[in-house]
Amino acid sequence: MSEQMLLADPARTEVGDTLLHMENVTMRFGGVVALDGVDFALRRGEILGLIGPNGAGKTTCFNAMTGVYTPTSGRITFDGQKVSGRKRHRITQLGIARTFQNIRLFPELTALENVMVGVDSRHHTSVPGTLFPVWRTPRRQDEFTGDPRWHGLQRLVGISRFAREERRARETAYDLLRFVGIEKRAGEAARNLPYGDQRRLEIARALATDPKLLCLDEPAAGFNPAEKERLLELIRAIRDRGPSVLVIEHDMRLVMGVTDRIVVLEFGRKIAEGTPAEIREDPAVIAAYLGVPDDE
């Protein structure tokens, strides 16, 4: 990256040391070997594509690195810490966020509230706290001395702290809605948003956890070409803002257009790794995709 680009955008993260490392990861489901000794690294500041035909093991990779599954064997490290076998919320706190193939929002909450839930996940407040802010009580009731005046003061301090936290969460959430381009929908219930906006909302909510790595599982599914183009710009903007990005995507144009490097899986094994130009020419990749139509 040129120095000029760095100067132009101070938030831009330069590609650097290893952030995520999958080491010889195997994942079996009974007789099915979904991942078979998969080994790859994602560097800080990079956009890495994870591609492969249906059933190749891409989503299983995401599930293993985000704590949905514990690998049968192998090791996954993130930012120097072992994540394989850790609880999901702990992995979120370490800095991995993801979106899903099938959108998973809180349909009755507004767009803003959906993102606030993400912001809340790194604060002391909670989902019920987002829903019922006025019912929040101070956490440090244990310090109550028995004097009702002291209790009242504690409550006031606690409430004002929560109010401050909630206001900050609201502002952060609104900024994120603006960043993904749907701030005009802030007050609408998530279920009423057009499909493309729901996908953007999922991204905003994932970003609200302030991740070091954002994993996007088929973010362009169901998008028309214009929406895909805007998504491509958004993915670049996310990386420029800070987080590294790991993207599973079937749309080859998008993958080739946005990633720095690509890892290719087939039948749970890594069959290739390289720059988009290298992957495009790789005979094993061409063979794996031969006769498999992409969804363009």
125, burial (CB in 10 Å: exposed 0-12, middle 13-18, buried 19+): buried
Q: Which of residues 19-48 bind ligand ATP (CB under 6 A)?
A: 29, 32, 34
Amino acid at 40: F
Q: Interface with ligand ATP includes 52 (CB under 6 A)?
A: yes
Q: Interface with ligand ATP includes 132 (CB under 6 A)?
A: no
Q: Is the Cβ of residue 57 or residue 243 nearer to ligand ATP in the bound state?
A: 57
Q: Is the Cβ of residue 201 or residue 288 nearer to ligand ATP in the bound state?
A: 288
- Binding region for ligand ATP (CB under 6 A) out of 55-63, 91-99, 139-147, 222-230: 55-63
Q: Interface with ligand ATP includes 68 (CB under 6 A)?
A: no
123, burial (CB in 10 Å: exposed 0-12, middle 13-18, buried 19+): middle
Given its phi and psi angles, is residue 52 left (phi above 0), alpha (psi -120 to 50 degrees) or beta? left
Nearest to 140 by CA among 121, 149, 153, 127: 153
Structural contact between residues 78 and 65, judged by C-beta atoms closer than 8 angstroms? yes
Tokens of 172: 């952060």
- Binding region for ligand ATP (CB under 6 A) out of 54-62, 111-119, 160-168, 207-215: 54-62
CB of 294 to ligand ATP, least distance (A): 11
Q: Interface with ligand ATP includes 56 (CB under 6 A)?
A: yes
Q: Interface with ligand ATP includes 59 (CB under 6 A)?
A: yes
- Binding region for ligand ATP (CB under 6 A) out of 57-65, 143-151, 234-242, 280-288: 57-65
Q: Interface with ligand ATP includes 55 (CB under 6 A)?
A: yes
CB of 220 to ligand ATP, least distance (A): 13
Given 4, 7, 10, 54, the residue binding ligand ATP (CB under 6 A): 54
Question: What is the distance between the terminal CA atoms of the chain, rounded to a whole angstrom?
Answer: 30
- Which residues are CB-contacts of 180 (< 8 A; sequence separation ≥ 6)? 200, 201, 203, 204, 207, 234
- The residues binding ligand ATP (CB under 6 A) are 29, 32, 34, 52, 54-60
